[in-house]
Amino acid sequence: MLSQAYYCQKITNKTAEVLSELMLNNVKNMNKLNQGHFKGLTVIIPAYNEAESVGDTIRSLQEQTMVPSEIIVVDDCSNDSTSSVACSFGVTIVRPSQNTGSKAGAQNFALPRVKTEFVMAIDADTTLGVNAIENLRTAFEDPEVAAACGFVIPRYVRTLWERGRYVEYLFAFTFYKQVQDYYEKPLISSGCFSMYRTKVLQAHGGWSTRTLAEDMDLTWSFYQIGYKVRFIPQAVSYPIEPHNYKFISKQLRRWSHGFVQNVKLHWKGLLEIPYLRSAVAVATWDAAIASFVFLFVLPALAIILRNPLFFIGYVIDVPALLVPLLVGALPRKEFGKALLSLPAFFVLRTVNAFFFLKAVWSECVQCRSFMVYEKGH
């Protein structure tokens, strides 16, 4: 069994001045914690070289309308000042003897020490709306719910890739996720921000490392053993998304391989769950066919038939995309941002098609599974 030694890195002279300012601000934040507590909740933050963002994540947790009873930062053998920054906020810090190799591994390192009824996992680059925990908690009024997730929207929307992800999330969480929750079968309880019943999660063995999409693996496993998963749109999280091609390529590679790995792993079990079976089948078929059409069929037809009108196929679904996109943007007063970001979505979708087909070829044809967890931001 992994030993759990509490770890608090010494603050170096180089970082002391910055951290002293952080501590002063954190004292002010701690004084606000009397607004409400969620004594039955422990939060796990897996972190590897997250010194620039982990402070914002912890602060957003400490400023919740319902503050968790404990926040555990798993410093997964970082070589920056992640632990020093986390220490300044007065949270618990644990550090494995060596890097666990994945986010799931880091979360599993802290899970055995959780004694509260609920546990939440949140990425070290993610902040929350001030009432996110309070809203997410309502999902567990149903004793059959094992996990719950919220609305995800990029914190920054500046570059091509951030804008593409912004449109993708706004559309997916406004439309697809709402439909999935209606049938009580969200496809994924998002890894960047989800809450779980601790006993159920521990009995399952925590987050599996057998695929690159541990959140999808866990969600589908819960369904197969009879538990529910809920989506609460009022619980909003703001992760930092990849800002350049280098990082978006790592994220797309991990997600594509993770999805294919989970389909291969769970397909027999999914056959017993009607809605989920249909949703995964449609998603798989659509991704594979759409990817092939985008990358090969449309360019081939345009060249062979010498008719550039075939390229309209890349944007033919704009009307169907616009309605839920703008429905999601209007309450946020982001109508203009959504419209300006729309072209970036089509670029991201085309690039995503390449990574998805490559993952299918590798995992299903060559039988070569990609299991290297690469940081995507």
The reported pLDDT for the residue numbered 35 is 52
In a domain, 252, yes or no: no
The reported pLDDT for the residue numbered 19 is 46
Q: How many domains, the chain?
A: 2
In a domain, 7, yes or no: no
Domain co-membership, 215 together with 350: no
Domain co-membership, 130 together with 182: yes
Arithmetic mean of pLDDT over the chain: 90
Question: Using CA of residue 78, residue 81, residue 86, residue 90, what is the dihedral sign?
Answer: positive
Domain co-membership, 290 together with 224: no
Domain co-membership, 204 together with 298: no
The reported pLDDT for the residue numbered 282 is 87
pLDDT band at 371 (very low <50, low <70, confident <90, very high): very high
Domain co-membership, 58 together with 127: yes
Is it the case that residue 20 has pLDDT exceeding 80? no
Is it the case that residue 27 has pLDDT exceeding 50? no
The reported pLDDT for the residue numbered 2 is 40
In a domain, 100, yes or no: yes
The reported pLDDT for the residue numbered 377 is 58
Domain co-membership, 125 together with 31: yes
The reported pLDDT for the residue numbered 314 is 82
Is it the case that residue 307 has pLDDT exceeding 50? yes
Is it the case that residue 165 has pLDDT exceeding 50? yes
Domain co-membership, 66 together with 167: yes
CA–CA dist 226, 267 (Å, integer): 16
pLDDT band at 285 (very low <50, low <70, confident <90, very high): confident
The reported pLDDT for the residue numbered 93 is 97
Residue 89's CATH number: 3.90.550.10
The reported pLDDT for the residue numbered 5 is 40
In a domain, 374, yes or no: no
Domain co-membership, 177 together with 275: no
Give the residue from 184, 210, 245 where a domain finishes: 245
In a domain, 179, yes or no: yes
pLDDT band at 98 (very low <50, low <70, confident <90, very high): very high
The reported pLDDT for the residue numbered 21 is 52
The reported pLDDT for the residue numbered 36 is 77
Range of the domain at 319: 269-365
31-66 pLDDT, tens per residue? 444 457 788 999 999 999 999 999 999 999 999 999
Domain co-membership, 39 together with 94: yes
In this structure, of 8-12, 94-98, 305-309, the range with the lowest mean pLDDT score is 8-12
Report the share of the chain in percent with pLDDT over 70: 90
Domain co-membership, 291 together with 228: no
Q: Please give the average per-residue pLDDT across 300-324, as a whole number.
A: 88
184-200 pLDDT, tens per residue? 999 999 999 999 999 99
pLDDT band at 317 (very low <50, low <70, confident <90, very high): confident
In a domain, 285, yes or no: yes
Is it the case that residue 17 has pLDDT exceeding 70? no
The reported pLDDT for the residue numbered 235 is 98
Domain co-membership, 177 together with 39: yes
Domain co-membership, 86 together with 197: yes
219-266 pLDDT, tens per residue? 999 999 999 999 999 999 999 999 999 999 999 999 999 999 999 999
In a domain, 360, yes or no: yes
In a domain, 255, yes or no: no
The reported pLDDT for the residue numbered 364 is 95
User: For residue 307, what are its two tokens?
Assistant: 């008719």
In this structure, of 137-146, 161-170, 277-286, the range with the lowest mean pLDDT score is 277-286
